[in-house]
Structure 1
Amino acid sequence: MKITMIGTGYVGLVSGACFADFGHDVVCVDKDAGKIAAIESGRMPIFEPGLDKLVGDNAASGRLTFTTDLDAGVKGAEAIFIAVGTPSRRGDGHADLSYVYAAVREIVEALDAPAVIVTKSTVPVGTGDEVERIARELKPDLDIQVVSNPEFLREGAAIGDFKRPDRVVVGTTGSERAIAVMSQVYRPLNLNQAPLMFTGRRTAELIKYAANAFLATKITFINEMADLCEAVGAEVQDVARGIGLDNRIGAKFLHAGPGYGGSCFPKDTLALVKTGQDYDAPIRIVETVVQVNDLRKRAMGRKIVKAMGGDARGKTIALLGLTFKPNTDDMRDAPSLAIVQALEDAGARIVAYDPEGMEIAAPMMPKVVMAKDAYEAADGADAVVLITEWDIFRALDLKRLAAAMTGTALIDLRNIYPAGEIEAAGLDLSRVGG
């Protein structure tokens, strides 16, 4: 089957490469000629473990190709996926669908045979209806079916998530042809017995937002429990384990920290809040989650200053980890951004190290000095702060770290280290929720 993927961002490139690895013939289309040239030369626009090899292998086999020519890219395709950005719209927080609708118009203008247009981008409820309206308006006599197929990929584990999904959600209006095409697209997953879930199109669009909002709520809940634990003298990791062992709750997304960030949770929770308001069905829980998470990131800056005796002016603070999570170079809405701003406002000098995110982070935090490793970052520092739980930070030589520092404060915002190990190295530990 020939599949066309419009957009070579995170979702488009990972999905296109995985479909090609399933044996489909995939053409990835992007207007950015520089990005296409870079991918073809083996340079990925994002950091995702295993993606460079997956793309390279499938490009070498001829199953995966790249082009800036959309007209040529869609010719003969049975399924055309739209995987362009849907950022929060400036001013009101709604998802900006301008890239989606522009892609739809170009796709339909180029089509001369029946096809299924699939929205892979995260889009609000009702977007598929508008996509269908545009298609009908431009080519009323052509059989174009519109399907919603939301992605559920975790950055840092996207290839495994795509190939071994918990479920594949496909939203249609009941078209037998659309169902047949999408069943063929995902047929290779039959061996893994991945559930292929067909729903109404609006239902599929809402499932994506509901899933992300629920996970964001779990994160925010345990973060507030962490604050309560600190106030009453309890241990949040034990609380999380105690409730997570309940099968009705589950252990995932119950790790207290500095708040959620990334490309999905912040914009998707905000978009869901706006959708609820538009339909006069406000989602008060999610509204509170958004507010609490925004406040928490800044509060982490105050927590660090407090651990330093309440005064950070003129002092040097080393930050370990800048990306919103490990195994990605994504800095979008990363807690480190708010933390850096709070510490700079408090008069601190910041030195940082991140295994993958420094190139992207540097222009976002121009006053921060970037180090070559954790120990260089800690050299002369009054405090060290663990922000992102990269594997490389899980087995630091704590005595070497302490010897490099001027001060003794270690603030662990991911609860990586037991108190005993920190104390044995001669450092003073400040944790989250304990």
Structure 2
Amino acid sequence: MRIAMIGTGYVGLVSGACFADFGHHVTCIDKNDEKVAMLRSGGVPIYEPGLDLLVQRNVREGRLEFATDLTDAVRDADAVFIAVGTPSRRGDGHADLTYVYTAAEEIAAAMDGYTVVVNKSTVPVGTGDEVQDIIAKARPDAEFAVVSNPEFLREGAAIDDFKRPDRVVVGAETEKARTVMREIYRPLFLNETPILFTSRRTSELIKYAANAFLAMKITFINEMADLCEQVGANVQEVARGVGLDNRIGSKFLNAGPGYGGSCFPKDTLALTRTAREAGAPARLIETTVEINDTRKRAMADKIVKAMGGDVSGKTIAVLGLTFKPNTDDMRDAPSLDIIPALQKAGAKIRAFDPAGRHEAEKLLTDVEFTSGPYLCAEGADALVIITEWNEFRALALDRLKDAMSGKVMVDLRNIYTPDDVRSHGFDYVSVGR
């Protein structure tokens, strides 16, 4: 099938490249000339393991193209995916749908023949209705359908998630549209992937509900970690004991500095706004948002306390800046709250991240960036692990200790075993243990 993918951000580029790898012909459209030129030459503008090779292979084999104008691609397409950004709107927290509505207007002007318009972007309930109205108003003669097909990609594992998903959710109101979507996802039938066909509004809500539930699990175990610290329990063993219950499961029960990234903060906030406007406030989600925001700031206090209550003039080495490993995404990363709070308390910050430096430099000031963990630790009074990159899981602790001036290690991801780190002479602090 012929697919047009509007937007070459995280969702659009990964989805477009994977659809092409399934054998479809895909044209990804972006108005940024420099980005399109990079993609045509085999480069990718985001860090995602394996994505560069996937793009290069499908460009070389003629299944994946890039363009700055959508006219030709939309005119020839069986399905047009809208995969543009929906950032939180300033002031009220709602998803900003400006780019979605603009894409709908441009699709309406270009499409020719029956076309399925697919919302791949994360959008509030009812957005599909709005997109349908926009297109119908602009092209009352057009034959089309609007479908919701939310993405469930984990940054750092997006290609595998797309090709071997837990499920595919499709919200379509007509059998003709469902037939097109079945053909697009037919390669997944071989893996017996569950494909849930439902109404458009239900599909839109599934995405928000799933992310909100996962955010609640993270927040729950973080609160249990605080309790563990007060009563002398071990949150990792609590999480294991709870997670072995197959009604609960073990995923997303890792205590840490709070959730971040492109989805959870934005989607939980948008869901609470939608729920309040609908007269059905989601109080659990509202509380989750509040607790998570507070937790990030509290992590700075934890570090200060570990250093004796005063960090003025002291150097703190920070390992990991992105919100999670295997991505360069800094959106709502805990480091963006923790580092400024430590700087406000008088600390000097030196940092290293395997992939996030370029993005971090845009968002953090007065930070000395280094090229490796041991250079980062050189002469530092304390070392703090914020992101659990694999590179940090087996550091030579003796070498680390020799490089530092102080002996405080604060492990906000519980990577290490307390007794092991302390045996190397560190004053070790972790989360919930």
Alignment of 1:20-419 (within 5 A): 20-173=20-173, 175-419=174-418
- By how many angstroms is 1:350 displaced? 0.2
Alignment TM-score, normalising by the size of structure 2: 0.99
Amino acid across the alignment from 1:309: G
- By how many angstroms is 1:142 displaced? 1.3
SS of structure 2 residue aligned to 1:192: coil
CA distance in 1, matches of 2:371, 2:188: 42
- By how many angstroms is 1:140 displaced? 1.2
CA distance in 2, matches of 1:331, 1:39: 22
CA distance in 2, matches of 1:425, 1:371: 24
The superposition leaves residues 61-95 of structure 1 with CA deviations (integer Å, 9 ceiling, x where unpaired) of 00000000111121210000000000000110000
Aligned CA RMSD, in angstroms, stands at: 0.6
CA distance in 2, matches of 1:24, 1:75: 16
SS of structure 2 residue aligned to 1:403: helix
The superposition leaves residues 92-146 of structure 1 with CA deviations (integer Å, 9 ceiling, x where unpaired) of 0000000000000001111121100000000000000011111111111211100
Amino acid across the alignment from 1:132: Q
Amino acid across the alignment from 2:285: V
- By how many angstroms is 1:285 displaced? 0.1
Alignment TM-score, normalising by the size of structure 1: 0.99
Amino acid across the alignment from 2:268: T
- By how many angstroms is 1:43 displaced? 1.9
CA distance in 2, matches of 1:119, 1:189: 20
The superposition leaves residues 235-274 of structure 1 with CA deviations (integer Å, 9 ceiling, x where unpaired) of 1000000000000000000000000000000000000000
CA distance in 2, matches of 1:366, 1:347: 14
CA distance in 2, matches of 1:112, 1:28: 18
CA distance in 2, matches of 1:412, 1:106: 49
CA distance in 2, matches of 1:295, 1:85: 26
SS of structure 1 residue aligned to 2:217: helix
The residue number in structure 2 matching 1:3 is: 3
The superposition leaves residues 261-312 of structure 1 with CA deviations (integer Å, 9 ceiling, x where unpaired) of 0000000000000000110100000000000000000000000000001110
CA distance in 2, matches of 1:115, 1:281: 35
Amino acid across the alignment from 1:396: L
The residue number in structure 2 matching 1:13 is: 13
SS of structure 2 residue aligned to 1:317: strand
- By how many angstroms is 1:425 displaced? 1.3
CA distance in 2, matches of 1:122, 1:332: 16
CA distance in 2, matches of 1:132, 1:69: 22
CA distance in 2, matches of 1:364, 1:349: 16
SS of structure 2 residue aligned to 1:3: strand
Amino acid across the alignment from 2:346: G
CA distance in 1, matches of 2:361, 2:42: 24
Large movers: runs of 4+ above 3 Å = none
SS of structure 2 residue aligned to 1:329: coil
The superposition leaves residues 309-357 of structure 1 with CA deviations (integer Å, 9 ceiling, x where unpaired) of 1110000000000000000000000000000011001100000000000
- By how many angstroms is 1:11 displaced? 0.2
CA distance in 2, matches of 1:56, 1:201: 34
The number of aligned residues is: 433
Identity in percent: 66
The superposition leaves residues 157-180 of structure 1 with CA deviations (integer Å, 9 ceiling, x where unpaired) of 00000000000000011x111010
Amino acid across the alignment from 1:322: L
SS of structure 2 residue aligned to 1:197: strand
Amino acid across the alignment from 1:386: I
CA distance in 2, matches of 1:363, 1:139: 42
Tell which deviates more after alignment, 320-329 or 67-76: 67-76
CA distance in 1, matches of 2:28, 2:111: 16
Amino acid across the alignment from 1:401: L
The reply to whether residue 427 of structure 1 matches residue 405 of structure 2 is no
CA distance in 1, matches of 2:190, 2:362: 45
CA distance in 1, matches of 2:73, 2:361: 36
Amino acid across the alignment from 1:28: C
SS of structure 1 residue aligned to 2:28: strand
- By how many angstroms is 1:391 displaced? 0.3
CA distance in 1, matches of 2:43, 2:111: 31
CA distance in 2, matches of 1:43, 1:362: 21
The superposition leaves residues 176-225 of structure 1 with CA deviations (integer Å, 9 ceiling, x where unpaired) of 11010000000000111001110000000000000000000000000000
Runs (5+) with no aligned partner, structure 1:
none
CA distance in 1, matches of 2:337, 2:38: 32
